[in-house]
Structure 1
Amino acid sequence: MDYFIITSILVFISAFFGYINIRYIKLPNTIGLTVITIFFTLGIFALSYFDDTLLNAERYIITQIDFRSVLLNIMLSFLLFAGALHTDLQKLKELKWPILFFATFGVLVSTLLIGTAVYFLLQGIGLEVLFINCLLFGALISPTDPIAVLGILKKADVPKKLEIKIVGESLFNDGVGVVIFLTIFGLANGTGGDFSFTNVLTLFVHEVG
C-alpha cells in the first residue's frame, strides 16, 4: 500500500469526521476531530474483542508509514506554512521577544512539568517508568499545533496581540521541541555523550531556521 492510498484513506476519514462534527457535535473543528477520533479509536478496540479485522487493517496501514519521514519532512512543513500564511509578519516582529521566550523557555518548562506529572501518575498506578522517558513524552507533546491554535483563537475572538503571541509561539516551538526531543532521546538511549552544547546549538539553529 503506497502513500497515495494511505493519504486518501486518512483524508476521507478526516473529512467524514469533520462533517459529523459540523453537522451534529458543533465543537471547534480541531477539538471536535480530536474527540471523535478518541471515541472512534476506543470503539475499534472494543470491537476487536469480537472481530479484530478492522484493528488488524489499521495496524497494517501504520506499519507501512515511516513516521519520522512523514511527520518531520512532509507534514510539519505544510502545517507550519499554513499557520504562517495567516500570520501578520509586522505584528510578529513587534512581539518577537515574548514569542521567543514562550517558544524556548515555555517549551522547556512544559516538558519538565508534563514529564514530572506523568512520572508521578505512572508511579501512582504501579507502572515503573524511568523519569527520562517521561520527559521524552513531555517533549513530544509540548509543542502546540499552529493550525489548531489559530482555529480556536479565531472562534474565541481574543485580542489581536494575544493571538499573535500564541500563534507565533506555536509556529516556532516545533524547532525547539525537535531539539529538546532529540537531546532527551539521545540521553535516554545512552548516547548523551554525542550531545555537546555545540551540537545542541547547531541542531537548534538548523531546526528553527
Structure 2
Amino acid sequence: MGSKFITFYDLVYTLDEKTGYYLNSTKRKRLHRSIWEHHNGEIPEGYHIHHIDGNKNNNDISNLECMPAKEHAYLHGKYLENILKMKRIQVEGQKKAAEWHKSAEGSEWHKQHYEKHKASLYKTETKKCKYCGIDYEVVVSKANLYCSNKCKSKARRESGVDDVTKNCEFCGTPFTSNKYQKKRFCTKSCSNKGVVRLPQLKNKDAL
C-alpha cells in the first residue's frame, strides 16, 4: 500500500482504499489519468489508462498505457478470472491434502517417514556442562549448554543479568539483588533489626 496522499502539480490526490486508485476530490480525476495527460495530452474518448504491471501504486509514465475501454475491461476480467482460478485450485489442493493425510495411505506414509528418520531425530551427543564441567548426554541441539536446569539457573544468577539495585528497608543503603528474589535488606544485621522495627513503625502509624 502506498502513501495516503500524493501531490502532483499542486493538486492533492487521496488514496481510495476501496478502488486502490488515487483521486483528486476537486476535479474528480484519478492520478494515473492526470499523469498520462500531462505527458501525452487529453485522453481520447472511449479510452482508458492501464497500469501495465497491474500495480495501481506505480504511476510512473512508463507503466501507463492508453487503450480502448473494451480491451481494458477484458484485460482486467482475465486477470480477475486467473486470480479466482488460482485461489480455487489452492483451496481444493489444501482440502485434498488434508483428506489424504487422514487416509490409510497417508497414515502409512507418515509411519514409514518416522521410522526412516527417527534415528536422526533422536541422535545424541556428549557435551560438557558450561557451569559445572561434567559430561552429559543430550539430543543434538545447540541450545543445550547445561546438564540441568539447576546449573542453568545458577549460571544465570552468577552472570548478574537479572540484578537490580534496591534500597535497604532498614538503613536505606543501596544494594544489588536478583530482581526475582524478595530480598529487602542489605545485610543480615539490617534484616534482624528491620524485622523487629517494621511492625513497631506500623503500630506507630496506626496511632
Normalised-by-shorter TM-score class: under 0.3
Structure possessing the higher relative contact order (Cα contacts under 8 Å, 6 or more residues apart): 1
Length-normalised TM-score, structure 1: 0.17
Length-normalised TM-score, structure 2: 0.17
| Structure with more strand by fraction | 2
